[in-house]
Chain A
Amino acid sequence: MNDKVLTLAEFCQITQLESAYVLELVAVGIIDTGSREGFDPEQILRSIKAQRLQRDLELDLQGVALVLDLVDQNQAMRQRLQHLEQLLTRFHA
């Protein structure tokens, strides 16, 4: 959706995370710099969430990565289920 990429310094400034921490997130694959030279603004919130989850639930990064992936899957499934239910309702109305 957004073609702009951020440098590590910009990314750290916006998220207020340490650069070492951000690089750790990249290393476990919580955020992905892809083939592009820099950070996607789409990853900002994911990084902040990762840090909050780690702090509040005392998780290690592998656990954080798992939680974030499952939350995404869960949200996608909930939306899909909601869509199918509503479609069914319309279809039988």
Chain B
Amino acid sequence: MDFTDYYEILGLKPTATQDEIKRAFKKLARKFHPDVSAEKDAQARFQEVSEAYEILKNADKRAEYDQLRSYVKTHGQQPGNQGFQFDTHDFADNPQFEDILSSIFGQRGFDRGGSRANTRFRQPGRDVHYTLQLSLEEVQNGGDKQVRLRTQAGEKTIKVKIPAGINNGKELRLRGQGDAGSGGAGDLYLQVEYLPHRQFEVDGHDLVLVLPVAPWEAALGASIEVPTLSGRVKLRIPAESSNGSRLRLKAKGLSKAGDQIVVLKLINPRVSTPQEQAAFEALHTAFNHFDPRAGV
């Protein structure tokens, strides 16, 4: 296990001034704040950065930390060996280092929830953030879902009620389902992430299907069976449709407010036999006034 180098976390040299520490922290806090950041590990990084700043901003704590750090740098490990991570709990459990720890962190580690260290015996549990991946079918139907989570205390399964049509990126908050703490458990946040679908794309509440059609279907119109999330339906393609034309199937979207949009994609057949060649030549003759590059 590694010693946590708070200077490295803040991207600083050990000689950094208090101003530099403050500036580095503020910059990284903005970058990794879980309510702002799009980074995958934002929550963990923000936690790290906050811990580092909590120690380094205070001259006394910093001096003690520096001592510990230079010990590790010269001896390759932390005093007392056993390869302890520089973790408040591991240290606090080791009587030999209780003194140095309590002076650095307060009696029993500082609050990892981000607030001040004066809550030492009633440490609230940490909020935890997870991604909740949902198939488009699950989004459309809603309902209860069993979600397996790996937590500090091992794996657990919880039942989550999914509102039908829930938005991509939306967060669900489950009160008191986060990590346990002596001052009550933190909250559990689940952020919805739609799983990619074999056939459909999502645009807000609408589903989008790219539908391949033959040139004559587009030109003459056709009635075609198309898939929706709730089974196949007939779609009438109007005559004189073109590549990229958009057709709308009302109320066939992800939620009641959404539709299914069908985008036509014209596919030319491969021409291999003499009859097929003749057919295209006939087309050419019939359309000899047609200039696809008019205006280019």
Contact = CB atoms under 8 A, between A and B. Distances in A.
B202 interface: yes
Interface in B232-276: 244, 263, 265
Nearest to A92: B265
Interface string A39-51: 0000011001100
Nearest to A74: B38
Given A87-B201, A87-B263, A14 B208 contact: no
Contact of B201 (A49, A57, A83): A83
A87 B208 contact: yes
Contact of B36 (A67, A78, A79, A86): A67
A53 B201 contact: no
A14 to B, nearest CB: 7
B148 interface: no
A56 B173 CA distance: 20
Interface centre among B35, B50, B168, B175 (most CB of A within 10 A): B35
A78 B115 CA distance: 32
A78 B35 contact: no
B165 A1 contact: yes
A73 to B, nearest CB: 12
Secondary structure call for the A interface:
helix
B169 A45 contact: no
A74 B36 CA distance: 10
Contacts of B35: 49, 52-53, 71
B29 A57 contact: yes
Contacts of B30: 57
Nearest to B208: A87
B108 interface: no
B181 interface: no
A33 interface: no
Contacts of A74: 38
A83 B118 CA distance: 47
Contacts of B210: 87, 90-91
Interface in A21-46: 44-45
Q: How large is the interface on B (under 10, 10 to 19, 20 to 34, 35 or more residues)?
A: 20 to 34
Contacts of B203: 80, 83
A78 B38 contact: yes
B183 to A, nearest CB: 12
Contacts of B263: 87, 91
B33 interface: yes
Nearest to A42: B170
B27 to A, nearest CB: 11
Interface in B135-186: 163, 165, 168-169, 171, 173, 175
Contacts of B33: 52-53, 56-57
Interface string B16-46: 0000000000100110010110100000001
A62 interface: no
Contacts of B165: 1
Nearest to A2: B163
Interface of A: 1-2, 14, 44-45, 48-49, 52-53, 55-57, 67, 71, 74-75, 78-80, 83, 86-87, 90-91
The 9 closest A-B pairs by CB, nearest first: A90-B210, A49-B35, A83-B203, A86-B201, A75-B169, A87-B201, A53-B35, A45-B171, A83-B201
23 contacts: A1-B165, A14-B175, A44-B173, A45-B171, A48-B173, A55-B114, A56-B33, A56-B46, A57-B29, A57-B30, A67-B36, A71-B35, A71-B36, A75-B169, A79-B168, A79-B169, A80-B203, A83-B201, A83-B208, A86-B196, A87-B208, A90-B210, A91-B244
